[in-house]
Amino acid sequence: MPLLDVRNLRVEFHTRRGVLTALDDVSLQINMGEVLGVVGESGAGKSLTGSAIIGLLDPPGRITKGEILLDGRRIDTLPEDAMRRIRGREIGAIFQDPLTSLNPLYTVGRQLVETIVTHLPLTPSQARSRAIELLESTGIPAAAQRIDHYPHQFSGGMRQRVVIALALAAEPRLIVADEPTTALDVSIQAQIIDLLKTLCRERGAAVMLITHDMGVIAETADRVAVMYAGRIAEIGPVSNVIGDPQHPYTRGLMESIPSIHRTTEFLAQIDGSMPRLNAIPPGCAFNPRCPHRMARCLSERPELLEAGNSMAACWLHDTGARK
Amino acid sequence: MTTKSLVKVQDASCWFDVSRPWLERVLKRRPRTHLKAVNGVSFTVEKGETLALVGESGCGKSTVARLLVGLYTPSSGHIEFDGQPVSMLRSREGKQLRQRLQMIFQDPYASLNPRWRVARIIAEPLKVHGKMTQAERDERVDALLQQVGLSPTDRNRYPHQFSGGQRQRISIARALAASPEFLVCDEPTSALDVSVQAQVLNLMKKLQQDLGLTYLFISHNLAVVHHVADRVAVMYLGRIVELAPRDALFSRPRHPYTRMLLSAIPDPAGTGQRRIPVAGEVPNPLNPPSGCPFHPRCPHARDICRQHMPATINDGPTQVACHGIKEGWLGK
DSSP string, B297-313: G-TT--HHHHHSPPPPE
- Cβ-Cβ contacts under 8 Å, B193 against chain A: 41-42, 212
Q: Which residue of B has its CA nearest to A257?
A: B194
Q: Which of A54-58, A296-300, B153-157, B274-278 has the lowest mean pLDDT?
A: B274-278
Asked if A194 lies within 8 A of B270 by C-beta distance, the reply is no
- Do B185 and B274 have their domain in common? yes
Q: Which of B202, B268, B269 sits opposite A267 (nearest CB)?
A: B202
- Do B83 and B207 have their domain in common? yes
Look at residue B130 and tell me if it is in a domain.
yes
- Do B167 and B204 have their domain in common? no
Q: Which of B201, B262, B269 sits opposite A267 (nearest CB)?
A: B201
Look at residue B327 and tell me if it is in a domain.
no
- Cβ-Cβ contacts under 8 Å, A258 against chain B: 198, 201, 223-224, 226-227
* Alpha-carbon gap: B146 to the closest alpha carbon of chain A (Å): 15
Average pLDDT over residues A40-63: 89
Domain ends where: B179, B194, B223? B179
- Do B184 and B261 have their domain in common? yes
Number of structural domains (chain B) is 2
Average pLDDT over residues A124-137: 91
Instruction: Evaluate whether B22 touches B31 at the Cβ level (below 8 Å).
Output: no
Residue A46 has pLDDT above 80, yes or no: yes
The whole-angstrom distance between residue B287's C-alpha and the CA centroid of its chain comes to: 24
Q: Which residue of B has its CA nearest to A250?
A: B195
Look at residue B300 and tell me if it is in a domain.
no
Helix axes B194-211, A248-255, angle to 10 degrees: 50
- Cβ-Cβ contacts under 8 Å, B273 against chain A: 218-219
- Do B86 and B193 have their domain in common? yes
What's the residue count for chain A?
323
Domain ends where: B161, B179, B197? B179
Residue B138 has pLDDT above 70, yes or no: yes
Percent of chain B scored above 70 by pLDDT? 95
- Do B188 and B64 have their domain in common? yes
CATH number of the domain where residue B69 is located = 3.40.50.300
Look at residue B236 and tell me if it is in a domain.
yes
Which of B:45-74 have CB within 8 Å of A? 56-57
Look at residue B314 and tell me if it is in a domain.
no
Asked if A253 lies within 8 A of B194 by C-beta distance, the reply is yes
- Do B133 and B228 have their domain in common? no
Residue B269 or B117, more confident: B117
- Do B26 and B157 have their domain in common? no
From residue A293, give the alpha-carbon distance in Å to each of A142, A161, A288, A300, A315. 59, 46, 8, 12, 9
Alpha helices in A177-309 (DSSP H): 186-203, 214-220, 238-243, 248-255
- Do B217 and B136 have their domain in common? no
Which of A:187-206 have CB within 8 Å of B? 187-191, 193-194
Q: Which residue of A has its CA nearest to B191?
A: A42
Asked if B281 lies within 8 A of A264 by C-beta distance, the reply is no
User: Using CA atoms, how far apart are residues A26 and A76, in angstroms rounded to an integer?
Assistant: 14
The pTM for the full model equals 0.85
B18-76: pLDDT as tens digits? 888 888 888 988 888 888 889 899 999 999 999 999 988 888 888 999 999 888 889 99
- Do B202 and B267 have their domain in common? yes
Look at residue B150 and tell me if it is in a domain.
yes
Asked if A259 lies within 8 A of B267 by C-beta distance, the reply is yes
- Do B82 and B209 have their domain in common? yes
Residue A186 has pLDDT above 80, yes or no: no
A226-264: pLDDT as tens digits? 999 999 999 999 999 998 999 999 999 988 888 888 888
Q: Which amino acid is at B236?
A: Y
* Alpha-carbon gap: A114 to the closest alpha carbon of chain B (Å): 29
Share the mean pLDDT of chain A: 88
Domain that holds residue B127: 116-179
Asked if B281 lies within 8 A of A157 by C-beta distance, the reply is yes
Say yes or no: ipTM exceeds 0.85.
no
Q: Comparing C-alpha atoms, which of B16, B102, B14, B108 is closest to residue B64? A: B14
Residue B274 has a pLDDT of 54
- Do B96 and B128 have their domain in common? no
Say whether residue A272 is in contact with chain B using an 8 A CB cutoff: no
Look at residue B57 and tell me if it is in a domain.
yes
Share the mean pLDDT of chain B: 87
B259-287: pLDDT as tens digits? 888 887 776 665 545 555 667 777 887 88
Asked if A187 lies within 8 A of B260 by C-beta distance, the reply is yes
Asked if B205 lies within 8 A of A268 by C-beta distance, the reply is no
